[in-house]
Every structure is written in C-alpha cells, then in structure tokens.
Chain A
Amino acid sequence: MGEFLSAVGDVLSSESTYLSGWRFACALAFVALGEWVAERAGTINVSVEGAMLAGAFAAVVGGDLTGSIWVGLLFAVVAGLLVVMIQAHLSHNLTVNQFVVGLTINILVAGTASYLNSSLSPASPKAHVFEVPGLVEIPVLGPALFGQPWPLYLLYPLIPIMWWVVYRTRWGLEVRAAGENPQAADVSSVNVNARRRQAIYVAGITSGLGGGYLLLGWIGRFEDAIVGGQGFIAIAAVYFGGWTLRGTMFGCLLFGSVNSFRISLPGIGYQINSEMLSALPYVLTILVLAIFSKRIREPQSLAQPFVRGLR
C-alpha cells in the first residue's frame, strides 16, 4: 500500500505524466467534442473512428505534398468531413442502421488508408512544439498545457465555441430539439434530418482535426494502428459525461490520463500490468455506465432515425 502511494506520488509529481496525459486527452477531446454534438442531435456516430483515421492519413498526405502543417490539417478536416458524409446520408436520408453504417465505414477507411499508405508511403514534417511564453513556466502543469505541438492549441478555443454554438445559437437549439423530439421539431418547421446531418459533419470535422493533430503533432508517418480505437474511447467519453460538455471533457481527461499512466509508470521504474491499464478506460466506462445508468438522461431520440410521417 505504501509502495503504491509513493508510486502515485511519483506519478503526480512527474511532469512527463501530465505532458503525455494531456496529449492523449486532447486527441480524445477533439473527437469527443464533435461526437457530443452529433449525439445531442440524435446520432451515435461510430464512424468518428474512421473519420479520425482518415484525418490522420490525409494529414500526412497533405504534409508530404506541401510540407505545410496547415495544409495537412486542412486535408485532415476535409477527409474527416468526407467520411462522415457517407454516414450522414445513409443514416439520415436512408435510415440505414447507424451502427452498421458506422462500422462498415470504419472498415472501409481502415482498408483504404492502409492500402494507400503502402502504395504511396507518404511522410510529413512534424509540427513544432510551441511554448506559450510565461504560461509554460507554471510548475508541473505548465509544460503539459502550454508546451505542446501547436495544433493542440486549436482545441482550447474550440471547446467554448462549441458550447456556445450548442446552447446559445438557433442552430444549437434546433440540434438539441432534433435529438430529443424530432417529431415536435419537425412540426415546428425545423429540418430535422438536415440538422442531424450537419451535427455529424461537425463530428467529422473535429475528428479529422483530431486525427491530423495526432499524426502531425507526434508521429509524422502513418501507421495502421495510429488511431487504435481512440474514436471509440471518445464515444465512451460522451456517454461517461452524461451528454454534457463538461462531463465529456472530464471523461477525455480521465481516459487520457489512464492511457498516459500505462506509458509513464514503467518509465519511472514501476512494474505495472500494462494489459490492465490498457483495458482500464473501457472497464471504467462500463463501470460508470453501470453505476449511473439509471440517473443519466440521454437524448430521448438517440440512435433513432426520423422519417416524416412515421409514428
């Protein structure tokens, strides 16, 4: 017990823990941010995993072609958007089961990216680390929050913007209405399926960005396992957060930290069961859902397609 506590102490005082925890959490947060909007509009958008992967691959292609990180990120956004457009139209024009569509898209993207990667083998420069003057000096947390590759900083303004869009604009109001009661929204002349599709587009954009950040910020080359289920963890974070933005972001932070422990604990000399740590985000999500499931209020029409005139 004492040993465990000292291990925890060591971890909590190690800058590298925060650095990597924050870095993982931010990758998740990009995706979860968009997924949160999509779920508020009524879609469980499993294809964010694919959108993230497509974003990562497009980013390396963009970076390879132009050498510019900005172009890489732009490519990532476009790729993410293209991927979720398939999802949006199949599940909200044609009412194909959204999970089925999402999983198929994920396999399609995984295959396409892997295929193109081995045919083209692109490589991109990495984004440089930008240390925000002054703020980076904050002890322990400074480097984690303000000493990261610069694409990470795109996330910071995005969170309040997304909150504002969902809670303070007409579009956001209509998105929430579409997720809760599409029939009522429809008679109030809200275009339900358009809002739902647009919300999915948002998820595609942020997921693509998340994939781009992952690749350009850290690796610079594409690997098949670069995303490795992080899209799914982001969906878990939205559930975990009970469909609130605050909760979702907290979920990302938690799952990101768990992920970083897996890496940082052995680094500072502790033998740890890495399988257990890798499984922890998933087990944690299941436990949280099991404990709070009766209290969480999900969007009433989550994962139900809307066809005017049905019901």
Chain B
Amino acid sequence: MVTLQPAAAELLGITKRFGAVVACSNVDLKLRKGEIHGILGENGAGKSTLMKVLIGLALPDAGSILIHGKPSRIKDPAEAASLGIGMVHQHFSLVEPLTVWENVILGEQARLSASSARRRVKEISERYGLEIDPNDRVFNLSAGLRQRVEIIKCLRRDPGIVVLDEPTAVLTPQESEQLFRVLRRVVERDNKAVALVSHKLDEVLSATDRITIMRAGEVVERLNTSEADAPSLARAMLGRPVSLRSKGIALGHIEIDEGLAEEGGGSESEEPGILPVLRISGASAKGRDGRVLLDSLSLEVRPGEIVGVAGVEGNGQAALGDVMSSLLRLQSGTVTVGGKQIPTGKPGAMARAGVAVIPSDRHESGCVLNMSVAENLTLVSPPRSSLGLGILDRKARRSQAEILMAQFAVQASGPEAPMWSLSGGNQQRVLLARELSGNPKVLVASQPTRGLDVGGIEYVSNRIRQAAEEGVGVLLISTELEEVLDIAERIVILFRGGIVGEMPRSGVDIERLGLLMSGAAAATAAGAAAC
C-alpha cells in the first residue's frame, strides 16, 4: 500500500462545453505531491481540455479548482504560473533564432540578466541531468534537446505541479525513457506533482504511479499503476470495440506477434518480378539556409505494398513529403513513378504522374482553407466546361463534390461550406476523397492520423489499407512508431535525411528499431554483424 501524499491540485466537478460539445463533464482529478499521475485517453477524450483548464487556457463552465488546498480561479497561464503550475507543451514553444537561455526566461517578468539566467539554466540542467549549453541557439538543437529546453523552461519557475502533454511524440524510445527518468527525479527529489497526459498505454504503464482514464469527457476509471495491466486499460479507455489493428495506434501499444517474429526472415524486398511503382534513389536536398534535408535517400515501393518510414520528427520527414508533393527540388537523385522519371520540384508534376499525397501540413499543402469543400475536392483537375476556353464547369464540380462527400462520409453543411469550418477529421476525409478518387499509382501519407479520434484513425487506416489492396503503392511517413508498425508491411528507418535501415514488419526488432531511429545504430549493427 502506497502512503497517500497530500494533494497538490484538486479539480472538482469540472465541466467544460464548447458550443454543443461537452469536452469535460463533471470531472474530478487529484494530483498528489511526489507522484506521476497518468491521464490516459484517446484523442478527443477531454484530457487536453482538462489540462487547459488547469493551466488557465480554458475557463471551466462549472466546477472548482483547489491548489494546495486553496480554492483558486485560474483565468490565464500567467495566473497558473504564479500558482506554481508549469506546462511542457506538446508542440514546441521555442523561438528558434534565440539562445537556450533567452528561450528559458521568455515570458517572465523579472529584469533581464543574462548571467543569472545562464547560471540558472546550468543549475537546473545539472540537477536533473538535462545536459545543455545555455548559449546554443535553438535552431541548432535536435528535437530531443529542444524538449530539454522546454522542460528546463518549465522547471525554472520551480512549479509545484508539472503538466506534460503527449511529451514523447517527438522522441526516440531511448529518449522517452530518459525523459521518464528525469520525471522520476523531479518527483522524488522535489516532491512535485506531475501530470502526464498521454494516449499511449505503454508509457503510462511504465512511467506513472497512478492513472486516471478518460473517455468522451468523463472519468471512467481511477487506479494505481501497480494494479493495472494493458488489456484492462485498453478496455476502459476505448469502451467500445474497434478493430484490433487501429487499436495499436490509438493506444500506442505495440503487440508483437511472436509467431511471426523470425529474425531476418520474410525478406519480401528481394521478391523478384514485380517492378517498384515508386523508386527514390540517391535523393539529396538542402534547405535555403544550407541545412541538409535529405542525404542520398533511397527507397522503393511496389504496387500493393505499404512501406512505413519510421523515424524521429525532424529527420527529413517533411522534406520527403515535400519532394513527393513537388514542393522541393532535389539537388541530386531521382524519383521514378511507374517506370518514368519525374522531375522534382516542378509544380504539379508528381500529382500528374499519379502520386496522391496526404500531407502532414494539411492546412498548407493539403487544402486551401479559404476555399469551399467542392473547390478543395477539385484542386488538381477542376472540371472543364464543354464550352472550352478553360471555363469552369461549376455544376459538374458541385455534383462531383456531392458524390465524393457521400462516398467518404464528409460531414459539412454542403459542398459550398468553407474548408476551415470543417473539423480536422472531416478535412482529412476531404483530402482522402480527392487524392484517392484520382486513381493514383502511389499514395504518400504523412502523419495521416495525427490529431484524429479513434473513429477517424480507424477510418483513415482502413482507407490506406484498402488503397494498397487495390494495387496502390503506399508510402507511410510517420513519427508514431505504433502507426508504422500497425499499418506497414515493410519498415525503413529515416535518420538525418537518409534511410539507415530496413526490416519487415513480421520480423521487427523494437530494440534495434529504436537504436536505428536515434542514429546510434550504424555502430551497433556493425557490431552485431561481427559477432
């Protein structure tokens, strides 16, 4: 039996509505000192909203908050900070051209003093084992190091309560473990309360002391981590049957089918006879600032095959997606689609060659937010009127849109609804509808399920699988390892703009995969080969 620590923060009966949607309904949550509290739930379960209430980004419609036993009204993040509540943000809140110490103290009130700020950064980084040079500029840092800066930034104010929102999204498995070690230190040494918001079962199970599970805006279960196991958590979290495969993504839970796990076996890539529908060879590209984006990257996708590109964010995923969207020109290397070499960076070339793309930046290269759903469905090839002269056939556009909207179950007020009025899931459906309706040869899906709820994830992954079954070669680029493992048949690992390894899904070795993702692999792999 664990002795009960006093509560650092208590949320009582919190209800928060957004319009007609109830994001949190009568939620109670107790964060105790000296404990890591996991808040588990699928996307849209209300856990982020609950944290927003705690850090003052959203005002609750009902309910009260006690901080160290005192009733508090938290109306903005500054107020939360003064009450000792700190947040490590999901997406980095760092200003790249500024130095580490400048970022750490950004937003404080006190007089600016570089030397004391540097000293403080040093102190914190030593205390918690977060090694970093305070004078480095953030744009030189890797994703893992940037998160360190975020954590230091949060800890600098010495908060009694630390909130982390999906902190492992940008980390390698090894970096994640390191992060959890740091959190453990924070809890044990300083008796702080930590709230870890996550949709990943495994990390909640391994890193927390206590778990609150949320579903559809309500708390469905509270338990001590020591009493929990994965299957029961999964049941409580989902509360409804979903296909076994998408569950893996939604829960961040990796199940390895032991029967199939033969080391080095099932090397499908050697299969002769079938020509790859997509071949990228020796692709290299540099950014405007001279940074290497892609470094002689080569890969192949055969028709009907799903190839997953695993890797930590910031290792060339965006550039690879951009190449396939004709948004980036290669300095060297070629892209061949269906046997024909396609010029890179030439507007529309990839789309015309039959490359469908679900981009990770769907608001920018995926759709035009200011245009209507119908217009977005026909961006690439708007229907031409029989009158010629490049006149638009607006009737045909509307009817095409109506058909596609029905086929892909897009919920919108109509084909003329502006794209920005749709929810993320529906925007993604519009993109899928447009891209898949053009009979593509290749489908490139970057982070296709990011930010979607379980229903959305299930829908999108099924559509991707369906496309592969119909013979489309699928390239899935994702930083969510679970997603890659779930959907892909063959996995290649992206590190610093190049492919550093490859393994079939059936023979996946998570340990080695993680090492490859962190770049520590070349040596290890060589060592293993020597043995």
Contacts and interface: CB of A to CB of B under 8 A. Distances in A.
Interface in B308-354: none
Q: Tell me what chain A mostly uses at the interface: helix, strand, loop, or mixed.
A: helix
A311 B93 CA distance: 13
Interface stretch (B94-102, B233-241, B262-270, B272-280): B94-102
A173 interface: yes
B89 interface: yes
B78 interface: yes
B350 to A, nearest CB: 25
A294 B98 contact: no
Contacts of B288: 294
Interface in A124-179: 168-170, 173-174, 176-177
Contact of B96 (A181, A188, A190): A181
A190 B106 contact: yes
Interface stretch (B60-68, B107-115, B211-219): B107-115
Contacts of A189: 76-78, 81, 107
A309 to B, nearest CB: 10
B98 A173 contact: yes
Nearest to B80: A189
A190 B107 contact: yes
Contacts, number: 58
Interface string A290-301: 000010010010
Contact of A180 (B76, B81, B89, B97): B97
Contacts of A181: 94-96
Contact of A173 (B77, B89, B92, B112): B112
Nearest to A187: B93
A188 B98 contact: no
B511 interface: no
B93 A169 contact: no
A184 interface: yes
A170 B110 CA distance: 8
Contacts of B108: 170
A177 B110 CA distance: 17
Contacts of A219: none
Contact of A187 (B89, B96, B114): B89
Contact of B106 (A168, A173, A294, A300): A173
Contacts of B114: 168
B77, B93, B96, B106: most-surrounded residue (chain A CB, <10 A):
B106
A180 B92 CA distance: 14
B95 A185 contact: yes
Interface string A280-311: 00000000000000100100100000000001
Given A174-B106, A189-B77, A189-B81, A184 B112 contact: no
- A-B interface, 3 closest residue pairs, ranked by CB to CB distance from nearest: A188-B107, A187-B93, A189-B107
A202 B109 CA distance: 21
Contacts of A176: 95, 97-98
Interface of B: 76-78, 81, 89, 92-98, 102-103, 105-112, 114, 153, 288-289, 363
Nearest to B363: A311
A183 B108 CA distance: 16
A249 B109 CA distance: 31
A180 B96 contact: yes
B289 A300 contact: no
Given A169-B112, A170-B111, A185 B106 contact: yes
Interface of A: 168-170, 173-174, 176-177, 180-181, 183-185, 187-190, 294, 297, 300, 311
Nearest to B79: A189
Nearest to B76: A189
Contacts of A177: 95, 98, 106
Nearest to A188: B107
Contacts of B105: 170, 173
Given A170-B105, A173-B105, A189-B77, 7 more contacts: A170-B111, A173-B112, A180-B97, A181-B96, A184-B92, A189-B78, A297-B289
Nearest to A189: B107
A180 B93 contact: no
Contact of B112 (A170, A185, A297): A170
A170 B106 CA distance: 8
A119 B95 CA distance: 51
Contacts of B93: 183-184, 187-188
Nearest to B111: A170
B112 A188 contact: no
30 contacts: A168-B112, A168-B114, A170-B111, A173-B98, A173-B106, A174-B106, A176-B98, A177-B95, A177-B98, A180-B96, A181-B94, A184-B92, A184-B93, A184-B94, A185-B95, A185-B107, A187-B77, A187-B89, A188-B93, A188-B103, A188-B106, A188-B153, A189-B77, A189-B78, A189-B107, A294-B288, A297-B97, A297-B289, A300-B96, A311-B363
A177 B93 CA distance: 11
A294 to B, nearest CB: 7
Contacts of B106: 173-174, 177, 185, 188, 190
Contacts of B95: 176-177, 180-181, 184-185
Contacts of B76: 189
A173 B96 contact: no
Contacts of A170: 105, 108-112
B502 to A, nearest CB: 35
A169, A177, A185, A189: most-surrounded residue (chain B CB, <10 A):
A189
A116 B353 CA distance: 64
Contacts of B81: 189
B81, B103, B105: most-surrounded residue (chain A CB, <10 A):
B103
A276 B134 CA distance: 50
A183 B91 CA distance: 10
A184 B41 CA distance: 26
Contacts of A187: 77, 89, 93
A187 B88 CA distance: 10
